Structure 1
Amino acid sequence: MIDDRGVLEPWLDRDRKSSIRHPMPVDRAMIEAGPVVRRGRHGKRADAPRRMALGEAHLRLRALVVATLSGSAAALLAAVLFEATASQAVEIDPGGQVAMMPPVGPHWVFVPDRLLQTSFIFDGDSAEMLGAIASPGLLVAKLPPVARTRNEIYSVDVDYDRGVRGKRTDYVTIYDARSLDVVAYVDLPDPVSESNTSQHHVALLDGERFLIAFSQFPDGVGVVVDLEARAVVARAPIAGCAGVYATGPRSFATLCGDGTTVQVGLTEEGQVASAERSAGFFDVVADPVSMAGVRSGSTWHYVSFRGDVHSVDYASAKPVATGPWSLVSAAEKEGGWRPGGLQPHTLHVATNRLFVLMHEGEPGSHKDASPEIWVFDVEAGSRLDRFEVPNLGVEFLGPMFGLAPDSFGRTVLGWLVPNEGAHAIVVSQDAEPLLFTRSHDYGVVGVLDADTGEHLRTIGQAGFAGPTLGVP
């Protein structure tokens, strides 16, 4: 509760001797901040909570944490809280204004949020939020492709005519990348597929004319959208396969349930011209590959649950698989080291460096968070470096308690909150790359120097929960 003095009184059990009774000062401006303008499906203004409005939820969580601790843990946390500084004044932007986005930058990062059904856009250099794209009706927002030639962003969305039920409409929303205004819609004839991460369910082909949307039901197709004509032009049958991966201006690939991959070729107008299947290259039962493939030119690299890297060349109509090579030595494999996470690997194309989230686990732990990032030279098939994932739990909770990054209180919090690692990573593709890390459980994104692994900064208040990250 916030009293007349602008003080948040924690919800404590007054009968418990270990209750902490210190009121928590808050900046009332954070709680009373007005709405920010967003654009919805019909191009109308819609009031949505401002980023700083998350402060109220954070303060409530702060009070709840204090209220539930007891004994020595409560005493230690009390000492930490005494060190916390008073809330800083927050500059409030005038309401009812729509700012223009800067040009698409190399250090932009998309942060989809499962609960808010929104993809936030942040600047990795300043850690500031630039904008947000709503993705209603989805289990998790699909990473939106960006077309630099037309300065557009594409979001594959779902609507129901009775809220969360009724007739379903699947469509592509086309945004102006500067204003984030909706400029067009393209309705899809098939329901788009969804999964826990929805990775590679949408692909923007080279040349940026055609977009492919993966639909698994009722019969499995890749829906071909001509973005210049703003129309669906074909349905490419890919039954028994999953995911869509761009391989050229008029071709895409998909992974299949028999351990093969199929490449679909299109005509100049986007009609299906060919479909060629590779030989089998992975065992879907003994050691399946993750759908989180990474691309370098005509080659896609797929990493298996055990840590084998399978490379497939799509330069010719029929895909050709090579390898595999292993991320782990015999001793590391014996020790249980394996990839883990929901988006566990990313590739810096110019230097051919593969970054992989790694953990010690048992078979079936391939979705678990990982505390380390291993760096590999793909061409040599050898490891170059090992980075530690920053403690994202501390990065999330520290600001709630007003603890400065280098303070003793932040150190104490690190003793109390174990480093559970990250679920997702993605690297920017410029000459000075940033490596972004994320835990599904915390609304922050760690920003690392991709060359050294140094933790440069943290993007705070990045939603609540989500499994993926994306760069343009």
Structure 2
Amino acid sequence: MLLGSAAVAGAAPADTSVALEPEESDVLTIDPPKPTWFFVDGGWDMPGTSIFDGESGKMKGMVETRRLADMAIDPAGKYYYVAETIWSKVDRGTRQDMITVYDSKTLNLVTEIALPGRILIGSRKNNFIVSDDGKTAYVYDFSPTSGVNIVDLARKKFTASIELPGCASLIPNPGVGFSALCSDGSLATVAVKGTKGDITHTAPFFDATNDPIFDNFAYDRKTKTTTFLTYTGQVFTARIGATPTVSAPFSIQAAAGIRPGETRPLELNWYPGGRQPMALHRPTGHLFVLMHMGEYWSHKASGGEIWQVDVAAKKVVKRFVLKEPMNNIEVSQTEKPLLYLNGEKGEALVLDVATGEEKHKIEKAGGGIITVLEPN
């Protein structure tokens, strides 16, 4: 032991140096938004809107969206737009209202476009919309009266604020301006001319007090039509233009061969429900609706089934039974569509429309509204 210790003590110190390779940093990028991707608003649970690939079930990235923000996708796929309100001290201090612009490949901040004001309304797909050509954004505003802020996205600049009393839930109106649903049951159209707007209304076509329309409705850029669904299950379509026209409604329950929904209390029936209860597959005109068994005014209840409705034929062509109730639904605008759903657990499901097969279950995906890339 002593000999060994002496030998060690007398030995030269070992060379412990290691050649280190210089660090290299890089920046990852992702593709522009694809038709099979879906975007889940994190709401109160996540720090942003998560991007998922419906084919692989894998997360691609996240767009920073604060609570109660609304996100829209640039039709050209270059940007993600977020209408949001922030405070200098988290939840107090100086308030700032803006559209924040992010690059779709890097997800880096491009710029912020200041707004004069807006009410905080999250989980509403149609309170922040982008025109079909991607040049203009319309942001619902309520300060102090209801109106719309108009933003030039090409110049990244606020241009005008137009008061629109009693109306919200916006619809692009190409070549005209925008349209909106109103509390008197009409559809308003605003012909934008510079900083002014000429406002006209259709005749009232729904009862906003007794049978309102779900505000997460669907607009089709190609056909310039909007599909609406009421709390009792009435389906309307409106052709958008300088003078919009609205079709006579049909009952989704009658389309399935059962008794139509009613507003009378204690009338048990199938009703639509959830925060985002419907999704339109634009290429086929098929509507996918979350349905539950209940009575009228149970419109917030999660759906236990999905009804696939051929809107043109006014017929329910398929019913999917879900393993657990879901609150939000969207559908990819692909030839072989995929259904995207989530519920109170914050899990996202991807279903194959053709077979009803569950392709993916994604844990902790978020429970907010779902957005997909619309066809141009």
Q: Same fold per TM (> 0.5)?
A: yes
Higher mean displacement: 169-178 or 332-341: 332-341
Match of 2:186 in 1: 260
Mapped partners of 1:117, 1:365: distance in 2: 30
Instruction: List 4+ stretches of structure 1 deviating above 3 A.
Output: 94-98, 270-273, 330-335
Of the three residues 301, 311, 323, the one matched with 2:248 is 323
Question: 1:9-408 residue pairs with structure 2 within 5 A?
Answer: 98-115=27-44, 116-136=46-66, 138=67, 140-142=68-70, 144-149=71-76, 151-195=78-122, 197-267=123-193, 271-296=195-220, 297-315=223-241, 317-329=242-254, 330-331=258-259, 333=261, 335-389=268-322, 391=323
Residue by residue over 1:20-43, the C-alpha shift from the partner in whole angstroms, topping out at 9 and shown as x without a partner, is xxxxxxxxxxxxxxxxxxxxxxxx
Mapped partners of 1:460, 1:148: distance in 2: 29
Aligned AA (2:351): L
Match of 1:462 in 2: 365
Does the aligned pair in 2 maintain the 1:118–1:133 contact within 8 Å?
Answer: yes
The alignment's TM-score, normalised by the length of structure 2, stands at 0.86
Match of 2:338 in 1: 434
Residue by residue over 1:215-270, the C-alpha shift from the partner in whole angstroms, topping out at 9 and shown as x without a partner, is 12311111110011110111122111112111325421111111111011224xx5
Mapped partners of 1:373, 1:363: distance in 2: 18
Residue by residue over 1:111-137, the C-alpha shift from the partner in whole angstroms, topping out at 9 and shown as x without a partner, is 11122241111111111111112223x
Asked which structure has the greater CA Rg, the reply is: 2
For residue 328 of structure 1, give the secondary structure of its aligned residue in structure 2: helix
Aligned AA (1:213): V
Mapped partners of 2:161, 2:24: distance in 1: 44
Aligned AA (1:326): S
| Residue correspondences, number | 340
Does the aligned pair in 2 maintain the 1:193–1:214 contact within 8 Å?
Answer: no
Does the aligned pair in 1 maintain the 2:303–2:327 contact within 8 Å?
Answer: yes
Residue by residue over 1:276-304, the C-alpha shift from the partner in whole angstroms, topping out at 9 and shown as x without a partner, is 20000011122111111112322211111
Mapped partners of 1:95, 1:388: distance in 2: 51
The structure whose residues are more often strand, as a share, is 2
> CA 1:178 to 1:201, structure 2 compared with 1: closer, same or farther past 3 Å?
same
Match of 1:36 in 2: none
> CA 1:340 to 1:96, structure 2 compared with 1: closer, same or farther past 3 Å?
farther
Mapped partners of 1:310, 1:141: distance in 2: 28
Does the aligned pair in 1 maintain the 2:33–2:77 contact within 8 Å?
Answer: no
> CA 1:272 to 1:427, structure 2 compared with 1: closer, same or farther past 3 Å?
farther
Alpha-carbon distance, 1:436 to partner: 0.3
Aligned AA (1:452): T
The alignment's TM-score, normalised by the length of structure 1, stands at 0.69
Match of 2:3 in 1: none
Question: Percent of counterpart pairs with the same letter?
Answer: 30
RMSD: 1.9
Does the aligned pair in 1 maintain the 2:124–2:216 contact within 8 Å?
Answer: no
For residue 88 of structure 2, give the secondary structure of its aligned residue in structure 1: strand
Mapped partners of 2:183, 2:351: distance in 1: 36
Alpha-carbon distance, 1:370 to partner: 0.7
Residue by residue over 1:282-331, the C-alpha shift from the partner in whole angstroms, topping out at 9 and shown as x without a partner, is 1112211111111232221111100001222223x222222110000343
For residue 234 of structure 1, give the secondary structure of its aligned residue in structure 2: strand
List runs of 5+ in structure 2 lacking aligned partners.
1-22, 262-266
For residue 354 of structure 1, give the secondary structure of its aligned residue in structure 2: strand
Mapped partners of 2:326, 2:24: distance in 1: 36
Does the aligned pair in 2 maintain the 1:206–1:249 contact within 8 Å?
Answer: no
